[in-house]
Structure 1
Amino acid sequence: MNDTADRKIVVGVDGSSSARSALLWAVRQAELTGARVQAVAAWEFPAFYSWEGGPMPPDDFERSARNGMDETVDAILVETGTAVSVQRDLEHGHAAQVLLDAAQQADLLVVGSRGHGSFYGALLGSVSQRCAQHAQCPVVIVRA
């Protein structure tokens, strides 16, 4: 583990109740260990999306992910009244890979047991399962 000042907990935030529980757990752990928290959200175009007139303009997917992350982080910060620093990062890509990349230099990766999911996600396996199998740091999976 790193020095206390350098400890980092990466947590996946997708707006689901499970991700909210994961963020709450990560913030509480950071309070105990002096770590900082990096909230990470990922967005991508759905498999059925078409540039010829999909259900939403391309910018709306990113905006929706950003809003979900901001609402979740803001709610947890208000609920806990914590002084823990929470960095917010939004990346385009598959959630599991985005989280694995973000957690390469982390001390801990925290994910919810079940996010929003999709048919696409069912084909590739769950995000939490992929993170648990491939992360280079310990992984905590939190149930809602």
Structure 2
Amino acid sequence: MTEHTGSRVIVVGVDGSKASRAALRWAVEQAHVLDTQVVAVHAWEPAAAFAPYAPVSERPTTAEQRERAAELLATTVRAAFGARVDPRVRALLVEGPPVRVLLQRARGALLLALGRAPHSQWELPAVGPVGRECLRRSAVPVVMVPASDPGEVPSETAQAPDRIRSGAA
């Protein structure tokens, strides 16, 4: 069964970057205008390959990897909004490849918002591979939000959102 998020939401891809925090803030502004909700989605995959000579104690379990992914999502939401996380925001942790997860969760949504890194001095592309694939394959509009200035990050410390849910893609 293919699960999607719904038609009256804005889906935001969250990877912990400054650009994804900017995308979250932009999406909440739009959600207020459109009277809708924001679903902050972090896709994670268990690391499958470790060097055969790596000590077993150094290999994180799948549960530990899921916990780290949930913490990254919670930390990114806190960093984007400070102490006051907008009640329109729901954080969602989903296991699976980022492109597949984002496209499935955005199916039927108002739009998909992704962060875009600033252009670099070495002429590297500002849109990464996940963003490029989402732009190519999405059935809903995709908005690429540029990374914000460092001064825009709230200075207040927030509490972890209690609405993080794990899901299977």
Band of TM-score, shorter chain: 0.7 to 0.9
Shift of 1:78: 3.0
Structure showing greater radius of gyration is 2
Change (3 A) 1:91 1:50: farther
Shift of the 103–93 alpha-carbon distance from structure 1 to 2, 3 Å rule, reads: same
Aligned equivalents of 2:85, 2:33: Cα separation in 1: 11
Runs of 4+ in 1 over 4 A off after TM superposition: 81-84
Deviations 1:72-93 (A, max 9, x none): 21333336x5645111111111
1:135 & 1:103 partners in 2: Cα distance?
8
Unaligned runs of 5+ in 1: 1-5, 115-124
Gaps of 5+ in 2: 1-6, 118-127, 148-169
TM-score by length of 2: 0.67
Taking structure 1 as the reference length, what is the TM-score of the superposition?
Answer: 0.77
- Structure number with the higher helix fraction is 1
Q: Deviations over 1:12-42 (max 9, x none)?
A: 1111111111111111111221110001001
How far apart, CA to CA, are the structure 2 residues paired with 1:15 and 1:89?
14
Q: Which runs of structure 2 are paired with 1:125-140 in the superposition (5 Å)?
A: 126-140=129-143
Deviations 1:120-144 (A, max 9, x none): xxxxx71101111111100001121
How do 1:22-61 and structure 2 match up within 5 A?
Answer: 22-46=23-47, 48-49=49-50, 53=56, 55-61=59-65
Q: What code does the residue aligned with 1:97 have?
A: R
How many matched pairs? 128
**Residue 18 of structure 1 aligns with which residue?**
19
RMSD: 2.3
